[in-house]
Amino acid sequence: MDADSPLHTISVIDGRALQMTGFKDISAMSPQLQLMIGTGSHLDPAELDPLIMLASLTVMPNAARAGLDDDALTTLSLLLMVWARQLRDNPDNGGLVKTTAEDLADLSGWPVERVLTSLQALAPHILIDDVALFAEGDLEIGLAPLLHQDGADCGDLLIRYWTAHYVMRMGPKLEAAEETVAGGLTRAKDLAGAGERVARLKARWDAYRAQREGVAHYTVYGAGADLAAFVDDVSTLEALHDAVVGLIDPASHGPRPFAQECGLLPCTKLQALAISAAELKLNPVEAKGVRH
């Protein structure tokens, strides 16, 4: 197949051919999905697995709306389970699933013939690289059509879910960090020989507060309107927090560094930076007025 030509799905049901254009590769996934669960993701398995699960849960109702029967939906659920494992092991797989009808029969407890029949019902809704091998049960398929049902990309949902969860988790931690910085600078006034350093930190703190005056970046609504600004706030406050903690308690018997207080993994911060760099905005309307 020409690498520059669109990949087609071919339905072998009743001898009819159904072509779905727009996907150039069997492993096709949108940039949004690549960012969250594919090659562009920075997340570790603990955060990646729920996103793959959410993508799978999105595919199932899409398939049901397309009119698939119970057997086809059951087979699809097994394919999604295989997809999740293969994608976690190799993000380059994208929307690709490699398995066999025999393996699906083992997973379902069905005869192979029943699995093959259900795969024929599923065929018009997926990408198939080799129709002959597919009919024999040697499966190399792509899930892109179901991940992009009716032009809606479930990658947008994953970005919304992860970012909202990130903001809701970080909001209270940022407020606590502000209290630590403010209280620490007050205590630091009495430290001998630290006057110049305290003055510099106080200037940075005042600038930060002035910049944030009247801004709701610590809420899903505020962060959704300007995620890059929220990520900048996290970085700025992290630096201030750790500088003040190191100044007033160099032996670390008091507040811990910001990353430890927040349980913030390096991969989480990288993911937030990647999303903000992509300039993918949340729709803040639903969360307006809600403070997390």
Domain residue extents for the chain:
13-151, 155-287
Beta bridge partners of 81: none
> Which pLDDT does position 126 carry in this prediction?
95
What is the rounded average pLDDT of the residues 152-169?
A: 90
pLDDT band at 229 (very low <50, low <70, confident <90, very high): confident
Residue 33, judged by CB atoms within 10 A of its CB (0-12, 13-18, 19+), counts as buried
Nearest to 237 by CA among 162, 173, 292: 173
- For residue 7, what is the DSSP state? B
What six digits make up the tokens of 180? Answer: 């630590």
What is the rounded average pLDDT of the residues 54-62?
A: 93
> Which pLDDT does position 230 carry in this prediction?
87
> Which pLDDT does position 217 carry in this prediction?
63
From CA 127, how far away is CA 123, in angstroms rounded?
8
Region of poorest pLDDT, from 13-22, 64-73, 148-157? 13-22
Rounded (to 5) percent helix, strand, coil in the chain? 65, 5, 30
**170 neighbors 262 (Cβ within 8 angstroms):** yes
Is the pLDDT confidence value at 15 over 60? no
Is the pLDDT confidence value at 202 over 60? yes
Residue 114 CA: distances (Å) to CA of 108, 197, 234: 10, 74, 54
Torsional class of 241: left (φ above 0), alpha (ψ -120 to 50), beta (otherwise):
alpha
Nearest to 129 by CA among 15, 28, 31: 28
- Averaged pLDDT of the chain: 85
What is the rounded average pLDDT of the residues 197-218?
A: 88
> Which pLDDT does position 226 carry in this prediction?
81
CA dihedral 104, 106, 109, 114 (to 10 degrees): 40
